[in-house]
Amino acid sequence: MKIYINGKFYSKEDATVSVYDHGFLYGDGVFEGIRAYGGRVFKLKEHIDRLFESAKTIMLKIPLSSEKLMEDVVHTVRVNGLKDAYIRLVVTRGVGTLGLNPFNCEEPRIIIIADKIVLYPKTFYENGLSVITVPTQRNIAEAVNPRIKSMNYLNNILAKIEAINAGVHEAIMLNAAGFVAECTGDNIFIVRKGVIKTPPLYMGVLEGITRDEIIALARRFGIEVTEEVFTRHDVFNADECFLTGTAAEIIPVVKVDGRVVGNGKPGKLTRRLMAAFHELVRKVGVAI
């Protein structure tokens, strides 16, 4: 495996960063997870655009143009001989001092990893996932805005620990007001009386690339989709529930906090969207 670091490729064993890098010291940086399917990188421009937005918010200047960064992502996948891949694109603040001041950092560091990922076992896509809600709340926008895809993922990791300790793979996180926000690594959707609902961005939600694509897909099918506030009560009483994310793609949820969702099986609309999404990702994207 060859890892891209600031324009050069290194073996996995030799791909290292300084212990003085603020990404290592403080989680000071941004990242994207991107997928390639059948020799095409899916939604690459959208991922790069979101990366630049996250970087702008934290005042991190990426030293490459978006066009050059897209070229380097594709080249990294090609160098590793992959057709289907999970790509991790990271931009750290770079080497600095032990103090917090980010403006002491010399130069941002760009890292691109192209590898494989299997987030959930195949049986979960066929039979559905059980999840719980956890005490750990989603970060509030006035602290670390969840729309920034930052390297500091401790908020999500703490919630993930609670999920694993409870014997499940994923957890629903509520915001400070007690409304459903998102999961530790995925956006959440429910279906009620034929209408698909997902929390609005101001609830403390990452604007997921897969989230947006599923919304667009559903609307092309003539299915009503709303972005609205809802609580655990609404999730418990939903007809269907599913999660979306770059790594997870789209996965059904059949039980939440011990309550069976719908009939306890992946729902009709969920299965339709799963099939449509899997067909779509191999037809569009930037060729490798």
Q: Which residues are catalytic?
A: 149
Tell me how far apart the alpha carbons of residues 75 and 105 are, in angstroms, rounded to a whole number. 28
CA nearest neighbour of 200 among 209, 189, 192, 213: 189
> Residues 6 or more apart from 283 whose CB is under 8 A from it?
none
Q: How far is CA 271 from the centre of its chain?
A: 21
Tokens 């989603």 label which residue? 138
What are 209's two structure tokens? 């690339």
Tell me how far apart the alpha carbons of residues 22 and 109 are, in angstroms, rounded to a whole number. 10
CA nearest neighbour of 130 among 104, 99, 166: 166
Q: How far is CA 264 from the centre of its chain?
A: 26
Tell me how far apart the alpha carbons of residues 201 and 208 are, in angstroms, rounded to a whole number. 10
Tokens 């941004």 label which residue? 30
- Structural contact between residues 279 and 220, judged by C-beta atoms closer than 8 angstroms: no
Question: Bridge-partner residues for 133, per DSSP?
Answer: 172
Alpha carbon separation from 274 to 38, 126, 129, 222 (Å, rounded) = 17, 11, 14, 16
Half-sphere exposure of 237 (CA within 13 A, CB side): 6
- Structural contact between residues 90 and 247, judged by C-beta atoms closer than 8 angstroms: no
